[in-house]
Amino acid sequence: MSEAGGFPLEGMELTHILVVSDLHRSMAFYRDVLGAEPYRDYGGTSAVFRFQGAWLLLVTPGGPTDDKPDVHFAPPDAPNHVSHAMTIRVPDCQAAYGILKDRGAAFLTPPVDHGAEVRAFFRDPDGHLFEISEYRGGAGLSAETET
């Protein structure tokens, strides 16, 4: 952790906020398809999940607030234009693909072998993009440093 200026500090954690159009549908997807652990539900407007050491906060659309006066939260309006995606590093992409597909994940294609990496992409019900990726080695970053 950084000591310069005290940020980040030990104990800080990052939460990914995903705006969803139907909270209950998305909660089912993240729990039943992705296998994320439900942590807390905030009265039908948001829910927190724990997934592989990360926090996922699902929130419903909303307008500006006093601490974000010009910001509107909305789910993706064009799933083919991505500004945020998450990668899940897996030991066996083909196996993970089979499990997630059986659970209802809709993949864009089956896993594609790029030599040093095998990967496949799927979306949540609102179009948020996820990648499963198996690192096989080769040129570039190592599995420990690559994201």
pLDDT in tens, 17-54: 999 999 999 999 999 999 999 999 998 899 999 999 99
Cis peptide before 61 (omega within 30 of 0): no
Q: How many CB atoms lie within 10 A of CB 72?
A: 10
Both 80 and 139 in one domain: the answer is yes
Last residue of a domain, one of 12, 39, 63: 63
At 108 the three-state DSSP class reads coil
Both 52 and 89 in one domain: the answer is no
For residue 147, the model assigns a pLDDT of 47
Q: At 89, phi and psi to the nearest 5?
A: -75, 125
Q: At 96, phi and psi to the nearest 5?
A: -65, -40
Both 82 and 126 in one domain: the answer is yes
Asked whether residue 39 is domain-assigned, the answer is yes
Query: Cα(125)–Cα(75) distance, rounded to whole angstroms?
Result: 10
Both 108 and 54 in one domain: the answer is no
Both 22 and 59 in one domain: the answer is yes
Above 80 in pLDDT, residue 10? yes
Residues 127, 27, 68: CA angle, nearest 5 degrees:
70
Q: Into how many domains does the chain fold?
A: 2
Q: What percent of the chain shows pLDDT beyond 90?
A: 78
Domain that holds residue 41: 1-63
Both 55 and 81 in one domain: the answer is no
Q: How many CB atoms lie within 10 A of CB 124?
A: 24
Q: How many Cα neighbours within 13 Å face the side chain of 117? A: 16
The tokens of 54 are what? Answer: 């990360």
For residue 3, the model assigns a pLDDT of 57
Both 2 and 52 in one domain: the answer is yes
Both 59 and 92 in one domain: the answer is no
Both 4 and 53 in one domain: the answer is yes
- For every residue of 42-54, DSSP letters joined together read -TTSEEEEEETTE
Q: Taking the model in full, what pTM does it have?
A: 0.85
Above 60 in pLDDT, residue 84? yes
CATH code (residue 141): 3.10.180.10
Query: Cα(109)–Cα(126) distance, rounded to whole angstroms?
Result: 18
